[in-house]
């Protein structure tokens, strides 16, 4: 269920690799030299690549805006249900279990969440050990604390002077302190929320109003991160098309621009994190990929020296 977010992060790098591989193959077969020699403009050469990258951008946007929150909400709800049902998992019908030191619980039968013939011995307070017997018992949250509600129950304790104290209850609760952590209400993190929730926090929700900057930073990150598909794809094009013809290959250029692509993406993650405390940096979340993409386009379309005649003759053979 966490794969949509991971896939959205990896997708721009996959675009870089795919573009680099495709153009490198064209260089290997001298197709790039041929298309330029035939009179095709730079835009005609790169437009099919940009159209393909646009599909990746749309896919990335769908993942960020729809698939990720749906998947993460499902995961969060599953985790919550498992934790809520963890109390029932500690009971094995017909067996004495010790979920904590000096605590023993027994239930003859467990059916539909209801325990029958319950025995609990709590010796964690060694000065005053307590024993409970109950006809039935169910797990419940009392004041947001995991507990066992005992019905038709009795409690036996031994006082400090050795006198046995015996009390009967129609219903009482035994808190599982130190055994099971309290389970609060289901809470959705920033990554679990839909884009409408990120940009329009509930004014009646105290937590959301206290974290407006964080919510908006997450929203702008999800809207801006698909642009890195263009950015990294254009960096791959610059590495292979913006420079001079090289008979020695383009491996060094690809490594250099691969490092640049990684640094640009890491800077984007840094801006997204910093925008949680400074909202003005949300503009930079869009400015970085757009600015780098614009620079790449300028490098691609600036006047370049004509390819060597020898290279054209080699490509024509």
Q: Are 226 and 66 in contact (CB under 8 A)?
A: no
Separation in Å, CA 279 to CA 61, 112, 202, 220, 255 = 22, 51, 19, 10, 34
* CB 78 within 8 Å of CB 86: no
Whole-prediction pTM: 0.69
Average pLDDT of 47-72?
92
**231 vs 9, 55, 206, 280, 285, CA distance in Å?**
14, 14, 38, 22, 13
**Cα 160 to the chain's mean position, in Å?**
54
Residue 295: pLDDT over 90: yes
Burial class of residue 46 in the structure, from the number of CB atoms within 10 Å of its CB (0-12 exposed, 13-18 middle, 19+ buried): buried
Residues 6+ away with beta carbon under 8 Å from 208: 201, 202, 215
- CA dihedral (230, 236, 241, 246) in degrees, to 10, reads 180
Q: What is the domain partition of the chain in residue ranges?
A: 3-82+188-316, 92-175
- What pLDDT is attached to residue 312? 47
Closest CA to 52 of 9, 16, 10: 16
Residue among 180, 13, 5 at smallest CA distance from 76: 5
The region that residue 162 occupies, defined by phi over 0 for left and psi between -120 and 50 for alpha, beta otherwise, is: left
* pLDDT-above-90 percentage for the chain: 34
- pLDDT for 143 equals 66
**In angstroms, rounded to a whole number, what is the distance separating the alpha carbons of residues 148 and 138?**
6
Residue 103: pLDDT above 80? yes
Q: What are the structure tokens assigned to 230, written together?
A: 């263009």
pLDDT per residue as tens digits for the range 199-248? 998 888 888 888 899 999 999 999 999 999 999 999 999 888 876 665 56
Q: What's residue 81's pLDDT?
A: 72
Can you spell out the DSSP letters for 95-156? SEEEEETTEEEEEEEEETTEEEEEEEEE-SSTTS-EEEEEEEEEEEEETTEEEEEEEEEEEE
- Summarised one tens digit per residue, pLDDT across range 153-170 is 999 887 777 778 888 889
- Going from the C-alpha of 138 to that of each of 91, 96, 107, 243, 314, the distances in angstroms are 11, 17, 11, 73, 84
Above 80 in pLDDT, residue 304? no
**What is the DSSP track for 174-224?**
EE-TTTS---------GGGS-HHHHHS--TT-HHHHHTHHHHHHHHHHHHH
Higher-confidence residue of 90 and 94: namely 94
pLDDT of residue 86: 57
How far apart are the C-alpha atoms of 202 and 212, rounded to whole Å? Answer: 10
pLDDT value of position 317: 47
Query: Alpha-carbon distance 9 to 240, whole Å?
Result: 24
Q: Which residue has the tokens 């050795």?
A: 162
């Amino acid at each position: 269920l966490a794969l949509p977010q991971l896939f959205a992060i990896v997708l721009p790098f996959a675009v870089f690799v795919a573009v680099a591989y495709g153009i490198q193959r064209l260089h290997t077969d001298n197709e790039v030299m041929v298309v330029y020699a035939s009179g095709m403009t730079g835009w005609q050469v790169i437009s099919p690549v940009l159209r393909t990258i646009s599909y990746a951008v749309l896919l990335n946007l769908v993942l960020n805006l729809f698939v990720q929150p749906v998947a993460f909400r499902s995961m969060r709800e599953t985790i919550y249900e498992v934790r809520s049902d963890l109390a029932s998992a500690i009971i094995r019908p017909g067996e004495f279990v010790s979920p904590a030191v000096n605590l023993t619980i027994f239930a003859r039968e467990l059916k539909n969440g209801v325990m029958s013939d319950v025995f609990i011995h709590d010796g964690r307070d060694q000065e005053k050990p307590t024993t409970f017997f109950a006809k039935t018992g169910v797990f419940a949250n009392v004041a947001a604390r995991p507990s066992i509600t005992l019905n038709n129950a009795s409690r036996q304790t031994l006082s400090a002077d050795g006198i046995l104290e015996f009390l009967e209850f129609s219903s009482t609760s035994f808190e599982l302190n130190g055994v099971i952590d309290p389970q609060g209400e289901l809470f959705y993190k920033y990554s679990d929320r839909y884009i409408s929730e990120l940009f329009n926090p509930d004014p009646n929700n105290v937590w959301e109003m206290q974290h407006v900057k964080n919510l908006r930073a997450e929203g702008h990150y999800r809207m801006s991160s698909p642009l890195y598909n263009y950015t990294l794809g254009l960096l791959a094009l610059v590495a292979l098309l913006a420079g001079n013809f090289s008979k020695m290959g383009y491996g060094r250029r690809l490594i250099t621009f691969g490092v640049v692509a990684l640094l640009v993406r890491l800077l984007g993650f840094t801006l997204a994190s910093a925008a949680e405390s400074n909202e003005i940096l949300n503009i930079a979340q869009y400015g970085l990929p757009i600015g780098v993409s614009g620079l790449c386009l300028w490098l691609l379309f600036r006047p370049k020296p004509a390819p060597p005649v020898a290279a054209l003759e080699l490509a024509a053979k």
